[in-house]
Amino acid sequence: MRDHIFLTLWRQILSKYTNIPQERQDSRTEQPEYRDKRYSPVVLDDKVDKFIEWYNQNEVKEKQTAIGEYRSPIEMRNFIETLAVWYELRYPDIFIDSMIFAPDAEDYQSTVMFKKNPYMMALFGNSNPVGDLDWTEFYNFQVLLPFLGPEKIYLQDIPYPRTVDIKVEGCWFRLWLSEDGVIQMIENFGGLEHNRSIVLQQLEQFAVGKSAKEFVQFMADNHVPLADDNPLTNAILDQEKYQYLKKELFNCVMYRIIERGKERIGPRRAYLFANEFGCDKSIPITYGIDLSDPNLEQLLRIYLSDGGSLDLVCYLNYFRRTSKYQALESTTVRELLRFFPDLESYIKAKESKKSRIESGKSPEQAEIKPQKVISYFRQS
């Protein structure tokens, strides 16, 4: 006991003079493997930390103005928290089960918030002017969007540049791109000889209608290299980095929704978020398997009806662990179905029918790719 008291006092002294909170000290000693960038964290809070670290390295550092860095990791963290809290207000705890398991039932949210709201009834009586409002339309994302900070730019799609100039074997071409990177037109402006103008036609025939990524990959596969630092490849890399950022941002919002809601409410609210914003629906299921949940079969049925994978690996009772880094038992959705014979039989019948349909299909013909333009670029 004496040693325990001494150790506690010593930690308090260290915390006081190093300005490191006690909880943070413990977390650093509990998870040294997290410092290894090859390690993929399981704890949801750590996943958020990992994204913020990536954001700091890729979007904050060395991006400075005359007055310093114009982005801050803490602002991104606060932005994630803002979206998570907003969604808690959009769908309070009492709405979650009805939204998940009975979406076609009577509009419970609007009834509670407007039609039978005691405050509204006391204020307006039977002439309640907001009684017919739809809660999901009233408290929607467009209401929140104008009040968000500059990080809201990451919620929208960033288009490809309108034009990109590339040099191929001494010939300059200008590619006109759509917002999503599809090549719409090609023109030559680098003095292509008249007797070789057929190359431009052949290039147009192949490339127009293809994505920028397909074009670059096709040229690489056929050993017609583009310059290492060409604008088209750079545009693709910028777009991929941005799409990764946007995807992980939404994932982190789900992580925080799950953590804040705990056990059943958090994962189910995150599932609603994933459905509304087109995110990965497997994340709420991965962390939402509570074996004591009386509605677990219904939750799995909904996930599988939405195209979910039977091979998804889930952590059992994530919120019942006794310490933050306790090893978690895992299972697959397929293995969970053994507890629910009716659902398992339904899925097996569905898989059998799908297999019979696919076995009757004729194999698709291999796509024939034009080679004329490639043969020109290979000429010495």
Contact 100, 284 (CB under 8 A): no
pLDDT over 80 (residue 378): no
**pLDDT digit string, tens, across residues 142-196:** 888 888 888 888 888 889 999 999 887 777 888 999 999 999 998 877 655 554 5
Confidence of residue 372 (pLDDT cuts 50, 70, 90): low
Per-residue pLDDT band at 61 (split at 50, 70, 90): confident
DSSP state of 289: B
Q: Which residues are 165's β-sheet partners?
A: 174
270: pLDDT strictly greater than 90: yes
DSSP string, 184-247: EEEEE-S---GGGTHHHHHHHHHHTTSBHHHHHHHHHHTT-PPPTT-HHHHHHHHHHHHHHHHH
Of 6-15, 87-96, 245-254, 320-329, least confident by mean pLDDT is 6-15
Q: Whole-prediction pTM value?
A: 0.76
Rounded to 10°, the helix 73-90/44-55 angle is 140
CA dihedral 106, 111, 112, 116 (to 10 degrees): -140
As a whole number of angstroms, the distance between CA 258 and CA 250 comes to 12
**Rounded to whole angstroms, how far apart are CA atoms 27 and 32?**
9
